[in-house]
Amino acid sequence: MIELVLGLAALAAIALALPTVVRRRCAPGRETSPPRKHLWAVAQANTSDGVTARLGVEFTAAIDDHGASTVIDAVEGLLRHEIAASAAHQLPSVGDALPDLDAGGAAGTGIDRVVVASSEIQVTPEFRRLVSARD
C-alpha cells in the first residue's frame, strides 16, 4: 500500500513539473544559436602583379541551412579581394590561417578559423616573366 502511495506521489510530482520544464525549453524569448556548418569556398582572381591565382578555404560558421550560400558568396568575395591585394609570392599556402576572414566580416556571421585548403597559381606568360626576372 505504501508503495502504491509513493508511486502515485512521484507520478503527481512529475505531472506537475513537466509543464514548467517544457515551457522553459520552448520559451519564445530564449535564443537558440544556429548549428555550426563546415563549409568550403573557392575564388579565382589576378594578383596585384598580374598572375592568375585560385584559393580554396575551409571554415565553419554558425548559420542555418538557408544562409549557407550567402556566407559562401561573401567569403568568396573576400578571398577575391585578398588575392587581388597580394603579389603572387605573398599568397597564403595550404594550411595557413586567414585571420582577416576570421573576424566575421562575411555577412556578420560567426565564422571560425578559416584555413587555406588549396592554393594554385596558373602558369601564364605573366608568371613566366616574373619568375625569369628573379634569375
Mean pLDDT across the chain, nearest whole number? 80
CATH code, residues 36-133? 3.30.479
Decide if pLDDT at 42 tops 60: yes
Q: Where are the domains of the chain?
A: 36-133
Residue 5 pLDDT exceeds 80? no
Q: Inform me whether the pLDDT recorded for 108 exceeds 60.
A: no
Q: Are 113 and 47 in contact (CB under 8 A)?
A: no
Q: Is the confidence at residue 33, as pLDDT, over 90?
A: no
Q: Rounded CA gap, 126 and 49, in Å? A: 8
Q: Which three cell numbers stand for residue 49?
A: 602583379
- Determine the pLDDT at residue 99: 82
